[in-house]
Amino acid sequence: MSPASSRVSSRLPVFPWDKLEPYKKTAAAHPDGIVDLSVGTPVDPVPELIRRALAGAADSPGYPMVWGTPELRDAITGWCERRLGGRGLGHTNVLPVVGSKELVAWLPTQLGLGAGDAVAYPRLAYPTYEVGARLCGATPVVYDDPTELDPAALNLKLLWLNSPSNPTGRVLAKDELIRIVAWAREHGVLLFSDECYLELGWEADPVSVLHPDVCGGSYEGIVAVHSLSKRSNLAGYRAAFLAGDEAVLGELLQIRKHGGMITPAPVQAATVVALGDDAHVAEQRARYAARRAALRGALESHGFRIEHSEASLYLWATRDEPCWETVAYLAESGILVAPGDFYGEAGERFVRVAFTATDERIEAAVKRLG
């Protein structure tokens, strides 16, 4: 191993998905093929109106703007006002990014954090929050309730919220968000809220930190992260954006200009159309709702218990046994799921079951569980 590779390995955790490969081979050997419910990647077509917009902007020989076109900024502010209840958002309150994972991984670095600083995120969480902290040399800190942290002792500079949660589907109530936002402001902690699953609430209505009841009509110290990957099947487009504190976004804009972190022009045009249309979102929600109901019923009848899961694209399920035993058990039936410990030690007796598979594959899983 080269010195450079050694330095990278020491900074980052082991890439978790590699550990799943043997179980994927077992599941793939099933006579009727694998049902892969391990990764939450969209499988349904990109809506036609979005594809037309992308193709229509294909002749884009010049460099696009890091800040996005004025039409894109209008689309983002309009969507935030219509869908999130945001008020008074201007162009300086929004910023397109090249997919939300890129933002999560590199945000601490772009904010200038490093050794001696702390980044906090939920105890059960998307692994990239930890990766982002480690990439810049900051200290990753997990929490059950962020208001129980000691910001001064930790030198806490960045707090991540994730509601609806990946992996659990848990939704933070409005009163919780109000309390956490007030606490973060009191202690001078920058709050970023990952809300990429906000339009996928099933047994709860997720609320954004940008809602005036939560933020008091001011975006100071708070930024919301949104993605079109799930709502519009645009994971392959890398279309996402930030909305909130204009001072924070202004600083990020300058850094991203220097780094050439630019959403491609055709994707910007497609995003404008996608944010302006609610019909395709409702259609996709209906598909997911049917798949969720079928899969949940099958799992519960098979002896699984579902916790949280009131939103997002996942069922947080357990058989009250170590998660890898559950992974192995389901793989024998040709069903691949994600072990809960990918998302933290607190998930060691759970698995995350995605319902981002085709109707045919969901039906196959239901039959096997039955």
Q: What is the mean pLDDT of the chain?
A: 95
pLDDT at 13: 66
Do 228 and 289 reside in the same domain of the chain? no
Task: Report whether pLDDT(1) > 50.
Answer: no
**Weakest-pLDDT range from 2-16, 83-97, 318-332, 342-356:** 2-16
Domain count, the chain: 2
Contact 164, 197 (CB under 8 A): yes
Do 90 and 114 reside in the same domain of the chain? yes
pLDDT at 14: 67
* pLDDT tens readout for residues 233-256: 999 999 999 999 999 999 999 999
Do 88 and 198 reside in the same domain of the chain? yes
pLDDT confidence bin for 17, thresholds 50/70/90:
confident
Do 321 and 240 reside in the same domain of the chain? no
Q: Which of 276, 293, 315 is the last residue of a domain?
A: 276
Do 83 and 144 reside in the same domain of the chain? yes
How many angstroms separate the CA atoms of 112 and 118, rounded? Answer: 12
Do 247 and 307 reside in the same domain of the chain? no
- Tell me which of 18 and 160 has the higher pLDDT: 160
pLDDT at 274: 98
Tell me, letter by letter, the H, E, C secondary structure of 95-128: EEECCHHHHHHHHHHHCCCCCCCEEEEECCCCCH
* pLDDT tens readout for residues 184-242: 999 999 999 999 999 999 999 999 999 999 999 999 999 999 999 999 999 999 999 99
Domain around 237? 48-276
Q: Which of 260, 276, 292 is the last residue of a domain?
A: 276
Residue 111 structure tokens: 């904010």
Do 236 and 95 reside in the same domain of the chain? yes
What CATH number is given to the structural domain containing 181?
A: 3.40.640.10
Burial label for 322, CB within 10 Å (0-12, 13-18, 19+), is middle
pLDDT at 282: 97
Do 158 and 265 reside in the same domain of the chain? yes
The residues with which 227 forms a beta bridge, in sequence order, are: 240
Q: Which residues contact 96 (CB under 8 A, 6 or more apart)?
A: 66, 67, 68, 72, 76, 239, 240, 241, 263, 268, 271
Q: Which of 218, 250, 276 is the last residue of a domain?
A: 276
